[in-house]
Amino acid sequence: MDQVKFTQMKDGTQADYVFLTKHEVAYTKGTADRLLGALVDLDEGLSGYKVTRLGHSLQAATRAYRDGADIDWIVAALLHDIGDIYAPYNHDEYAAAILRPFVREQCAWCVQTHADFQMVYYGHHVGADPNKRDRHLGHAYFDDCVAFCEHWDQASFDPDYDTLPLDFFRDMVREVFARAPYDPDVIRPGIREPLQGTSHP
């Protein structure tokens, strides 16, 4: 079978769906490499900063790595703005949706809400609420997102910073996206891991 027989899903047979499932599972194995390609596309995104969006993403991930963060934090930092090209008005939610099946809940939540937390740095300059993050006060990961933004996101626009190349992070991205999706041993709801540790030099 090269294609299913149906033209409406309700007419599909078990054989059709077994065939599709096999192909869909095989396709998911390439998710990491497609994301790595999409990161390169960030170089064609929003301009005006001293670094490209890819440069910003790599710098955030480099800072996370050098802070001794674990692999979930590093990959989250790398991909936190992956939605800038395709979802400019909710890029944080877009990125979190990609990450959520494969990283700790803590990391996905911080990516999902980081745009609200970033407002503290510039909201007052553009007529937006600089305290937008306060809507999340009391959340278990509130302080983690404050730290994520302070140490890795808002700080990563420096063209003179010694940023690691994308190739350095490729195997980390592949490792994370090779995980079984929504594995409870990975997602670990309510568990907080430090953003800074001793995992790396």
Q: What is the pLDDT of residues 161-200, one digit of tens each?
A: 999 999 999 999 999 999 999 999 999 999 999 998 755 5
Query: Helix 166-177 crosses helix 31-41 at what angle (to 10 degrees)?
Result: 140
Confidence of residue 18 (pLDDT cuts 50, 70, 90): confident
Domain spans in the chain, listed from the N-terminal domain onward: 14-187
> Considering the chain, what is the average pLDDT of its residues?
93
Q: What is the pLDDT of residues 99-128, one digit of tens each?
A: 999 999 999 999 999 999 999 999 999 999
In angstroms, what CA-CA distances link 126 with 93, 99, 102, 153, 164? 22, 29, 35, 19, 32
Most confident among 35-39, 46-50, 183-187 (mean pLDDT): 183-187
Residue type, 52: T
Q: What pLDDT shows up at residue 200?
A: 52
| Closest listed residue to residue 117, CA positions, set 97, 135, 90, 95 | 135
Please state which CATH number belongs to domain 14-187. Answer: 1.10.3210.10
